[in-house]
Amino acid sequence: MFYKFLLSLSIFLSISGLGWGEEKPEQPKFKPIPSKSELRGGGTTTSAASSASTSVRPMDAVQAPQSFLDNVLDSAGQPKKSLNAHPPTSGREPMLLLGPKNKPMIDVVVHTYKLDYFDCQGVVAPWFREVLVAELNYFSELSKIPMVDGVLCLVSVANENHLTPGRISINFFSSNKEMSTCTTGKFCTTYRSVSMILKGNKVFRQYFLSDIGKNVISQNCVTDKGKWYKNTTCYAVEE
Report the pLDDT value the prediction gives residue 63, as an integer from 0 to 100: 60
CB 80 within 8 A of CB 137: no
What's the pLDDT at 25? 38
**Beta carbons within 10 angstroms of residue 2's beta carbon:** 8
Q: Closest by alpha carbon to 204, among 232, 165, 182?
A: 232
Q: pLDDT for 183-222, tens place per residue?
A: 987 788 999 999 999 998 899 999 999 999 999 999 999 9
CA–CA gap between residue 185 and residue 22 (Å, rounded)? 7
Instruction: Please report the DSSP string for 54-89 in residue order.
Output: SS--GGG-SBPPPPGGGG----TTS-SSGGG----S
List residues bridging with 220 in a β-sheet: 207, 230
pLDDT of residue 36: 52
CA angle 40, 184, 198 (to 5 degrees): 70
At 74, the pLDDT band (50, 70, 90 cuts) reads low
Q: Where are the domains of the chain?
A: 2-236
For the entire predicted model, the pTM comes to 0.75
Cα–Cα distance measured from residue 170 to residue 90, given in angstroms and rounded to the nearest whole number? 18
Asked whether the predicted pLDDT for residue 52 surpasses 50, the reply is no
Helix (H) / strand (E) containing 137? helix 126-143
Q: Which residues contact 62 (CB under 8 A, 6 or more apart)?
A: 90, 91, 92, 93, 94, 95, 125
CA 113 – CA 234 distance, rounded (Å): 25
pLDDT one-digit tens code per residue, 111-135: 999 999 999 999 999 999 999 999 9
